[in-house]
Structure 1
Amino acid sequence: MDIQAGFFYLFSAVLLFSAFRVVTARNPVHAVLFLMLAFSQAAGIWLLLKAEFLAITLVLVYLGAVMVLFLFVVMMLDINIDSVRQGFWKHFPLALGVGAVITLEMAAVLKGGFSAAQAPEMQAVLAAVNVGNTKMLGGLLYTQYLYPVQIAAVILLVAMIAAIALTLRERKTTKKIDPSIQVRAKAADRLVVVSMQATQAAPAVEEAAAPAEETKR
């Protein structure tokens, strides 16, 4: 067994353990941390397969943004673990069946869809054209798969706008300014010039204090 195979088994073992702990961890924060560990091990496996773009994307997008957001959200929410775990054993047979079906489908795809002879051929093609897999992937996305990429971008844009529209609610306690009122505002409506004398005579303090002293005497 060479070094590459050893790292593959190491990453795979840690990935399976962390994925199992994501489901079985009692603390939600620990579950999120185990999920981050699983993503990092998956990125290592992508590096072993010489898919640097996918590995870096997995680290930057999921570990750098999405999972950090999940972690902060889980830490801020007060999750009642007892209410979440209610009905676990009731739905466990259904979940086990769905998991078994997905496992069989993945095994069928991995067994019949890929062969070991395709890897050297792909490496030979990349070496012949002297380009990396990142450049080739970009060329495929924006040439052969241009329309699917554009459709996916439009779907994500619609989803983002819908999420903003659903969460944007007017509250009575929120202070906001109407932009149309700001545009129509004039200087005369906001600023009032009051004419006042430049200098005023100071009151006679000594003269006012003298009668008070006489009354005391």
Structure 2
Amino acid sequence: MNFELIIFYFYALVATLSALAVILVKNPVHSALNLILCFFSVAAIWILLEAEFLGLVLILVYVGAVMVLFLFVLMMLNLNIKELKEGFVQHLPLAILSAGIMLVQTILLFFNIKIKTMPEISSNITNSKQLGTLLYSEYLLQFEIAGVILLVAIIAAIGLTIRKKPKENKYQNPAEQVKSHKKDRLKIVKMKTEDYDG
């Protein structure tokens, strides 16, 4: 058993244990932290399998953005764990049924799959270069559609944040500001002096 295989089994064991801890621990914040550890372990396995791009994307996107967001949301919501456990028993049969169906499908897929040996790739061609070539050649249309969908989502998010009543919005009108004169803004009023008795 070589050193690379030992590292692979180590990260696989860490990923399995942290994934089990996600569903077994009682505190939601601890579950999110265990999920981050699971993502790190899977990313390390992908890097060991020479899929460096997927491993780095998993760390940057899921760990760096999504899971940190989940963690902040869980910490800010301050969820009541007792209330969450009240509906656990009534949904348990459906959860067991769903898990059983997924297990059967996984076993059938595992025994029916035909593993093909991958052709050897030149060491000069990296994983990222292959992915970029495929994205901008065979999957160019799908890539552009995904970009348009993300752009629409960004515009919709901005529109939701600035959605207010017209009366509440305050705008500056430069044309009206230029037309203003000091006599319209400043008014001198003459009034009698008042005697002050100290």
1:99 alignment partner in structure 2: 99
* Contact 1:15–1:38, Cα closer than 8 Å, also in 2: yes
1:12 alignment partner in structure 2: 12
Give the number of the structure whose residues are more often helix, by fraction. Answer: 1
1:157 alignment partner in structure 2: 151
SS of equivalent to 2:4: helix
Separation (CA, whole Å) in 2 of partners of 1:153 and 1:107: 36
* Contact 1:25–1:31, Cα closer than 8 Å, also in 2: yes
| Residue segments in structure 2 that go unaligned for 5+ positions in a row | 189-198
* CA distance 1:190–1:111, change in 2 (3 Å): farther
Offset from partner CA, 1:129-183 (integer Å, 9 cap, x none): x211110011111111112222233333334444454565538xxx7423xx434
* Contact 1:126–1:133, Cα closer than 8 Å, also in 2: no
Q: Percent identical across equivalent pairs?
A: 40
Separation (CA, whole Å) in 1 of partners of 2:158 and 2:14: 38
Letter in 2 for 1:186: Q
SS of equivalent to 1:50: coil
* CA distance 1:87–1:170, change in 2 (3 Å): same
Letter in 2 for 1:118: T
* CA distance 1:151–1:14, change in 2 (3 Å): same
* CA distance 1:187–1:162, change in 2 (3 Å): closer
2:21 alignment partner in structure 1: 21
Residue 135 of structure 1, aligned match among 122, 129, 133: 129
Separation (CA, whole Å) in 2 of partners of 1:104 and 1:191: 83
Instruction: Report how many residues are paired.
Output: 188
1:118 is the counterpart of 2:117: yes
Offset from partner CA, 1:74-120 (integer Å, 9 cap, x none): 111121212222211211221222223233434444554452x524x
Give the 5 Å matches for 1:1-217. Answer: 1-113=1-113, 115=115, 118-119=117-118, 121=119, 124-127=120-123, 130-166=124-160, 169-170=163-164, 176-178=169-171, 181-189=172-180
1:204 alignment partner in structure 2: none
* CA distance 1:29–1:191, change in 2 (3 Å): farther
Q: CA deviation at 1:23?
A: 1.5
Letter in 2 for 1:125: I
Separation (CA, whole Å) in 1 of partners of 2:90 and 2:187: 82
Query: Which has the larger displacement, 5-14 or 104-113?
Result: 104-113
1:212 alignment partner in structure 2: none
Separation (CA, whole Å) in 2 of partners of 1:19 and 1:106: 17
* Contact 1:29–1:71, Cα closer than 8 Å, also in 2: yes
Letter in 1 for 2:96: L
Separation (CA, whole Å) in 2 of partners of 1:21 and 1:71: 16
Q: CA deviation at 1:38?
A: 0.7
SS of equivalent to 1:88: coil
- Of the two, which has the highest radius of gyration? 1
Provide the TM-score with structure 1 as the length reference.
Answer: 0.72
Q: CA deviation at 1:33?
A: 0.5
